[in-house]
Chain A
Amino acid sequence: MNRRFATLLAWMCCCGMSVAKENATDGDIDFASQVRPILSDACFACHGPDEESREADLRLDDPDSAAAVTQPGDASASELYARLIETDPELKMPPPDSGKTLDASQIDVLKRWIDQGAAFETHWAFVPPGRPEIPPVDRASWVKNPIDAFVARKLESEGFSPSPAADNRTLIRRLSLDLTGLPPEPDFVATWEKRLQEDGETAYQNLVSRLLQSSHYGEHWGRLWLDAARYADSDGYEKDKPREAWFYRDWVVDSFNDDRPYDDFIIRQIAGDLLPDATQADHVATGFLRNSMVNEEGGADPEQFRMEAMFDRMDAIGKSILGLTIQCAQCHTHKYDPIEQHEYYGMFAFLNNTHDAIVPVYTDAELERRQQVLRQIEEQERLIKQALPDWRVRMHRWAHEVASRAEPDWTTTELSFLDTALSGSKFQPQGDGSCLCQSYAPTNFKPQGTGTFHGKRLTGLQLELLTHPNLPRGGPGRSVDGTWALSELTADVALSDAPEQSTRIKFSRAVADRSPAVAELKPRYDNKKDQKRITGGIDFAIDGDETTAWTNEVDTPLSNISQTAWFEFDQPIEIPDGQHAIVTVHLAQRHGGWNSDDNQTFNIGRFRVSLTGEVIPEFVPLPQAVAALIRQAPDQWTPAEEATVFSHWRTTVAEAQPHNDAIEQAWKSHPRGTTQLTLARRDAPRATSLLARGDFLSPVKEVQPHVPALLHPLKANNERSSAEPKRLQFARWLASDESPTTARSIVNRIWQAYFGVGLVETSDDLGTQSAPPSHPELMDFLAVELIENHWSLKHLHRLIVSSATYRQSSNLTPELAQRDPYNRLLARGARFRVPAETVRDITLAAGGLLNRSVGGPSVYPPAPEFLFTPPVSYGPKIWDVAQDDQRYRRALYTFRFRSVPYPMLENFDALPGNLSCVRRSTSNTPMQALTSLNEPMFLECSIALAAKTLRQCDADEDGPAENRTVSDGRRIRFAFERCVGRAPSGAEQRVLSDYLMRQRERIDSNELSAESILSSGPLLDLDDLDATELAAWSLVCRVMLNLDETITRE
């Protein structure tokens, strides 16, 4: 392997050396491409932006500071150069113990840079892109658009010629795979091959348009963004519970299909919820930031893991939007890029004031249904008002009456928790006496909280169940529906003089604002014990029976409201003077399912306990929202507040009963919907601090929201933006036309997807440590094109695929292989194995099985059961294999458990979504071979392809007497085309027909069992076909699906 290979590392090599070294021997030294990479790599760690690690007070990233050691025009008089050629290890730079060395050619670059004046330039990526001049080229006839001019210019300077264009069939398959991620059907290839031949460029443009309009375009390119967005369908960490986030996935797909401008795409993902008149989709978009992992293992500190999630969000924004590695600055000022630590936390501060919400979301059909329900309710309420013309007067009178009823004075008691269930659940005080239950949510436990009460006597206890944005559907429960079940409430009281002598309280009665009817538990809560458990009204909380529970679950959105219950002591507890009462409350919650590592909890999410010494009323507490309003004068109510009171008041009015019943009925037909993790605005601001070494327990100083000085300024000077919430301002800043890296970052990644490697190889990092761009002007041209075309990604795609550069043949000549093995000069088209998801999609499509429906919940294609069973997985997981055509959905829709990635996809380098990634590795391993040879779905597709081949070719047969060799040949061609998009050569045809013959013989002679072979296609209807023949063809199709070419984009 020669040195040139070594300097052109394609794989994840961020060393900025390749191009620099190539150019090092001639002419002027270029600071950006040649000098800075050396300084950055070898010197900045100690002589760079980071103040804490800076040595000798010298900065080589700063011209003023560097002037102390450089003598412009004279390297030999410069201290910098002297230290580089020093032999004394004490003085030599870089110091030997740094692990860094500079070779002679690198030292020579620095010498000549100083000799040529030691001029500094700002790193290219921090200067906003400008539209470059399109260079004149000799090969003008080859140029189809400006991309080609930039490429040809470079090729000419290196003495290369472009490769000829690929043939039309190859181009059709290439375009189809690149734009939609799906292989073209053979008749599509035939049709377009003809059109391309006849209409040339016009047909080509039509083909591109056609593919860009396909709804599969959004699926394919959305998948790429979902890697950057670290999308997954589960929480990660130990429990790795399933979560619902597919609305976000579909939002991404839809956005690409709609060609949502990229700046708008970013803004909505960071702050869609804060836009004026934000729609459901705008809230869903913020799922981008909520894709962080969630740790609910026992004992996990919720604040620690909230901070981990915040760091993850910052990392995701850095990699996916800014194209910068900002996470270094989490712990210290960046050593290479001038991002200071306070600037990292300045950006952090924009994002910190959020709730991690889980909100209900509805499909279009469900939204329609929901509107219908709300209209029905509105109509019924209108009818009540019509029937009772004096309703308002009566309601005001009622409000006055209930407001003047005597209610006890409740004193909230702050509880401290001893977790006797050893669950490691966390009860976070909310500052209002309430506790939010976080972290682990066991399905069967009985936490005990202790508080004090100062007064003369104790007669009753109030329990409030409160909503909170962090709870599923707002709570107040922790179940996936936001519901809870209280199996039993018990309390012990002791007096402060004898704290060990506690008395169990007997409750004489309990009242609640709502008591649902008795109901069986949902299957989700099956505890696998032979024990009948039921839920119902408040009495179940004090009946001494833990198999019965009070619940809020009413299977409508009305479950998700705050509630109140009062518990009366059988005997008042008298508290002698000078003492106080110590009250211990036990909240038995034993109505969850058997598996605490899954979504089977039925616990309370937020609650507050209060105590009183006054008389507990006979009446039922009002709903909390109504209770708050009736304390105000009715004429102060807003229309919405009046409606709230009305909706309760009507339930107290006998004449309204039929309408109330109708309303109840209407609520029952409200759609359940799905949930989505979103951001929600947090009213009480959270202070952000700079954290020493990124440790959340070591705040150093408070930081206000601000952006890094090296990037473009945040302009909040116009009226609109300054009034906007901070996070929205930040979102607009990220997606600004003036951002030097945002547009470059996305165009580079799109280029990477087409050519296997980006114009800047380190697509996650355009900072000073990045590899220099192979074609800097081309990069800027594409970035400016994107911005000036309203950030239309489809415009960019069309531009790229229309270029002659894109259309080149990907065949590799020995000369190209020697001189440019990684194709950085673009003298040929790219050839690479398609991404994991496309491997699956190609296989399904070839077999004619692919289910092309777009969107919806994630699906469970076949996978080995043991993967989801301990001790392979941490907890038992549900993988309910689809027994219908859902198993043939595109791989994009395969359910993604972070801790148990789908094995076929994992083996082909799909990512688990634990963190943001904009560059997958592409491996080529024996595990892949085992997968494509033996995985059941590959076999199912082989059989399906064989069946399709036999049926289709039999139907096409010319006459009854067609000779077998001829018909075999036709069949081979048919199946082969479905796999690779072209006809087989004579030699290929021979290999396949020989193989067919041998398998046929072995099956005929019962050496191989046709029945066994076909058992891999359990869902396929194969009755009309001859089993022997089908089995032989299935083996042939298996060979075709295993070809390198089948899973390669040529």
Chain B
Amino acid sequence: MMNNLNRSRRWFLKDCGVGLGAIAAAQLMAEESGAASTADPLAVRQPHFPGKVKNVIFLFMAGAPSHLELFDYKPQLAKFDGTLPPAELLKGYRAAFIDPNSKLLGPKFKFARHGESGAEISEILPHTAKVADELTIVKSMTTDAFNHAPAQIMMNTGSQLFGKPSLGAWTLYGLGSESKDLPGFVVFSSGSKGPSGGNSNWGSGFLPTMYSGVQLRSVGDPVLYLSNPPGVDARAQRDALDAITALNQQHLALTGDPEIATRINSFEMAYRMQSSAPELMDIQSETQQTLDLYGADPDKPSFAKNCLLARRLVERGVRFVQLFHEAWDQHGNLVGGLKTNCKNTDQACAALIQDLKRRGMLEETLVIWGGEFGRTPMVQGGGNDGRDHHPNAFTMWLAGGGMKAGTTLGESDEFGFNVTRDRVHVRDLHATILNQLGFDHTRLSVKFQGLDQRLTGVEPARVVRELLA
């Protein structure tokens, strides 16, 4: 009898390092991708085809930045400033706050062409302008929703309805995690508030919860409950863990339930995370030059610090990092608000690209910048200093990760109202990102409630090949 139990225990520890639920997830993945089966749902897996990208950093500009002030220069809008938009433009158009039949508002900032690519970039993004030749700018983004929460959920999960897995969750599910002691999908939040879509923006939806993003803080305990409780030092924690493991192992031998083996592993990883996470957060170890490049103050939470942490995370094998900076909802104070936001983000975004590049990491890292929608060419409010939500056309940029650097794709009309060329729907963006990770977006799917559920949903979506190097 004892022999049997010992054998079973060995068998479980060897083959079932994780629980059966987890095995099922991994197995399903293996089936979907045709890859070799593996027991660990977070183990590194091969995608459908060799991907260009191993990691993603999504700089989510929540609140929706004005494309008209940052990337999509419209001289005609300046010319028609103060006049009503053409009636045919407004047919069937719904606006969130304003009467759509409001006067047009000319761009508030100067633009110039930058780099060899000659990308047109606003004067309030001087640092981004310097890396213009690294960017792949998409001026023809379009989405379905024009309220923040549904549109953020759309951008992050492919659906306006809550309950679908996020882009990061799909990525982690598809590729697994290279990091054994940090979560594979990490989220930071900066700016004036949390994102409108809340933590559904990084949720795992119907995928197992282990694929959801873990929110880290750049001050205090980076991970919730990371620190030992008061009075428990490192040795006491190790002692406790050893006792817990010894008892769990005795019970495993008795019951034979592989879930116990998984729990033993979970405690070990938790213990490792207790030292790896503080090490990660310690940006004092970076050179002054690097800190200056980002404009990051080690003692203060900031978007800049989060950008630097994003690089450090990717360096440590974290698959997907998403920074939310909720600050861009300029219904009023368009000029002042944009200046502040650009001051807080521009340098760090550019620094991230430069830093990744000089470390040879940019090729395998896809950096994405953008919000949930754009802003109306029409004015909001009496002060000629605000714009409403606008889903029809907006701008995003991508960098690294096999994208065609120094390219601008797509066009909007003379007022920046509708896309006129090379329309890229949120779904197309998702299909393209998955493609760079090595996935056919139609095949990265999970059966749930009778449907093959996928990030790009049931509507047609295309990989935007024009964006790829």
**A binding-site residues for B, Cβ under 8 Å:** 1, 5-6, 9-15, 99, 236-238, 240, 293, 295, 297-301, 308, 311, 325, 328, 336-337, 418-420, 422-424, 762, 764-765, 767-770, 810-814, 817, 821-822, 831-833, 864, 866, 870-875, 898-901, 903, 907, 909, 912, 914-915, 921-931, 933-936, 939, 985, 987-988, 991-992, 994-995, 998-999, 1002, 1007-1016, 1031, 1035, 1038-1039, 1042-1045, 1048, 1050
Name the A residues within 8 Å of B99 (CB-CB): 418
B125-133, B210-218, B280-288: which lies at the interface: B210-218
B162 touches A6 (CB 8 A): no
- Say if the beta carbon of B398 comes within 8 Å of chain A: no
Minimum CB–CB distance from A213 to chain B (whole Å) comes to 31
Q: Considering residues B99, B198, B248, B262, which has the most beta carbons from chain A within 10 angstroms of its beta carbon?
A: B198
Q: Are B147 and A299 in contact (CB under 8 A)?
A: yes
Pairwise interchain contact A1039-B247, C-beta atoms closer than 8 A: yes
On chain B, the residues within 8 Å of A1038 by CB distance are: 240
Question: Chain B nearest CB: distance from A780 CB in Å?
Answer: 21
A-B contact pairs, 14 of them (CB 8 A): A1-B27, A236-B162, A297-B147, A311-B161, A325-B449, A817-B256, A864-B224, A926-B269, A930-B226, A930-B273, A1010-B231, A1044-B251, A1044-B263, A1050-B255
Report the separation of the CA atoms of residues A333 and B304 in the bound assembly, to the nearest whole angstrom: 49
> Contact check: which of A810, A925, A1016 meets B230 at CB < 8 Å?
A1016
Given A422-B332, A915-B163, A926-B270: A833 and B149 within 8 A (CB)? no
Q: Which of B232-271 contact A (CB under 8 A)?
A: 232-233, 235-237, 239-241, 243-244, 246-248, 250-251, 254-260, 262-263, 266-267, 269-271
- For the complex of A and B, list the 9 residue pairs with the smallest distance between their C-beta atoms, beginning with the closest: A299-B96, A1012-B231, A769-B450, A899-B198, A1013-B231, A929-B270, A11-B24, A238-B196, A812-B256
- Does B217 contact A866, Cβ atoms closer than 8 Å? yes
Contact B39 A1009 (CB under 8 A): no
Q: B326: shortest Cβ distance to chain A, in Å?
A: 6
B392: CB under 8 A from chain A? no
A832 proximity list for chain B (CB < 8 A): 259
State the Cβ distance, B31 to closest chain A Cβ, in Å. 6
**Alpha-carbon gap, A994 to B242, bound state (A):** 11
Chain B residue numbers with a CB within 8 Å of A1016 are 229-231
B201 → chain A closest CB, angstroms: 10
Question: Given A13-B24, A767-B450, A1013-B229, 17 more contacts at CB 8 Å?
Answer: A9-B27, A10-B20, A10-B21, A13-B447, A237-B149, A298-B96, A298-B97, A420-B382, A422-B331, A814-B7, A923-B209, A924-B259, A924-B266, A927-B183, A985-B250, A991-B247, A1043-B248
Q: Which residues does chain A contribute within 8 Å of B450, judged by CB atoms?
A: 14, 325, 328, 336-337, 762, 765, 767-770
Q: CA separation between A866 and B215, bound complex, in Å? A: 12
- CB-defined contacts of B20 to chain A, threshold 8 Å: 10, 821-822
Q: Is the beta-carbon distance between A1039 and B198 smaller than 8 angstroms?
A: no
* Residue from B206, B240, B255 in contact with A1042 in the complex, judged by beta carbons closer than 8 Å: B240
Of the candidates A765, A935, A1002, the one whose C-beta lies within 8 Å of that of B449 is: A765
C-alpha gap A236/B149 in the complex (Å): 10
Give min CB distance, B151 to chain A, whole Å. 10
B416 on the interface (CB 8 Å rule)?
no
Indicate whether B65 reaches chain A with its CB closer than 8 angstroms: no
A872 and B189 within 8 A (CB): yes
Smallest CB gap from A936: residue in B: B229
Q: Which residue of the partner chain, among A423, A935, A998, A1014, contacts B239 with CB atoms under 8 Å?
A: A998
Asked if residues B231 and A931 are in contact (CB atoms below 8 Å), the reply is no
Q: How far is the CB of B417 from chain A (nearest CB, A)?
A: 18
Contact of A909 with B225 in the complex, beta carbons under 8 Å = no
A985 to B247, CA, bound (A): 10
Q: Is the C-beta of B94 less than 8 angstroms from some C-beta in chain A?
A: yes
One of A813, A925, A1043 near B266 (C-beta < 8 A) = A925
Judged by a CB distance under 8 angstroms, whether B37 is at the interface is yes
Check A871/B96 contact, CB under 8 A, given A1-B37, A810-B255. Answer: no
CB distance from A716 to the nearest CB of B (A): 30
Interface set, chain B 139-171, CB cutoff 8 A to A = 146-150, 161-163
Q: A930 to chain B: which residues have CB within 8 Å?
A: 223-226, 270, 273-274
Contact A11 B270 (CB under 8 A): no
Residue of B31, B97, B225, B388 near A935 (CB, 8 A) is: B225
Q: Is B340 an interface residue (CB 8 A)?
A: no
Q: A238-B196, A1008-B231 are in contact. Are A929 and B267 (CB under 8 A)?
A: yes
Q: Which residues of A are found within 8 Å of B451, using beta-carbon distances?
A: 325, 328, 769
Does chain A have a CB within 8 A of B227? Answer: yes
CB of B289 closer than 8 Å to a CB of A: no
Would you give the shortest CB distance from B208 to chain A, in whole angstroms? 5
B110 within 8 A of A: no
Contact of B23 among A5, A337, A912, A1035 (CB under 8 A): A5
Closest A residue, CB atoms, query B36: A1
Tell me if B335 is interfacial: C-beta within 8 Å of chain A. no
B468 at interface, CB cutoff 8 A: no
B200 proximal to A (CB < 8 A): yes
Contact assessment for A991 and B246 in the assembled complex, using a CB-CB cutoff below 8 Å: yes
B215 touches A928 (CB 8 A): no
Q: Does B190 contact A (CB under 8 A)?
A: yes
Q: Which of A237, A909, A994 is the one whose CB lies under 8 Å from B196?
A: A237
Say which residue of A295, A301, A924, A939 sits within 8 Å of B263 (CB atoms).
Answer: A924
In the complex, B8 has a CB within 8 A of chain A: yes
Q: Is the CB of B259 within 8 A of A1044?
A: yes
B25 contacts partner chain A, Cβ-Cβ < 8 Å = yes
Question: Whole-angstrom distance between the alpha carbons of A325 and B269 in the complex?
Answer: 38
Task: Tell whether B386 is near chain A: CB-to-CB under 8 Å.
Answer: yes
Complex CA distance for A296 and B64, rounded to whole angstroms: 18
Across-interface contacts of B215 in A (CB, < 8 A): 872
Q: Please tell me if the beta carbons of A870 and B193 are within 8 angstroms of each other in the complex.
A: yes
With CB as the reference atom, state the residue of chain A lying closest to B442: A99
B8 and A1043 within 8 A (CB)? no
Residues of A within 8 A of B442 (CB): 99
